[in-house]
Amino acid sequence: MIEKSYTIIDETGIHARPSTALVRAASPFTSDVKIEYKGKQVNLKSIMGVMSLGIPKGASVKVIATGDDESQVIASIDEVMKSEGLAN
């Protein structure tokens, strides 16, 4: 299991477009991938799950990956967080 924490810097938080990018980044991998906000975890491969968290600017979130390709999925999520301007 690998965990990585992020602080969201995007003015509008994790809204529809970046949620879609995160789900697309996580989906090709076989690992179980979750995103946690305020103690609630959802599947990062589910657009509805990610959107249901309503993650605003300044929020601290944690991405948790468990499986054979967990390090690759964390690297992919890391790239999306930076390229979408969600976290640095």
| Full residue range of the structural domain in which residue 49 is found | 2-83
Q: Whole-angstrom Cα distance, residue 60 to residue 26?
A: 19
Amino acid at 4: K
12 to 17, 32, 47, 51: CA distances (angstroms):
11, 27, 17, 12
Q: What is the share, in percent, of the chain residues with pLDDT greater than 90?
A: 99
As a whole number, mean pLDDT of residues 36-59 equals 98
**Does the structure show a pLDDT above 90 at 10?**
yes
Q: Would 78 be classed as within a structural domain?
A: yes
What total of structural domains would you count in the chain?
A: 1
Q: Would 88 be classed as within a structural domain?
A: no
Q: Whole-angstrom Cα distance, residue 86 to residue 68?
A: 26
| pLDDT at residue number 50 | 98
Collect all residues with Cβ–Cβ distance below 8 Å to 4 and sequence separation of at least 6.
62, 63, 74, 77, 78
Q: Active-site residue numbers?
A: 15
CATH number of the CATH domain containing 19: 3.30.1340.10
Identify the DSSP state of 55.
-
What pLDDT, in 10s, does the model give residues 20-43?
999 999 999 999 999 999 999 999
**Does the structure show a pLDDT above 90 at 88?**
no
Contact 64, 2 (CB under 8 A): yes
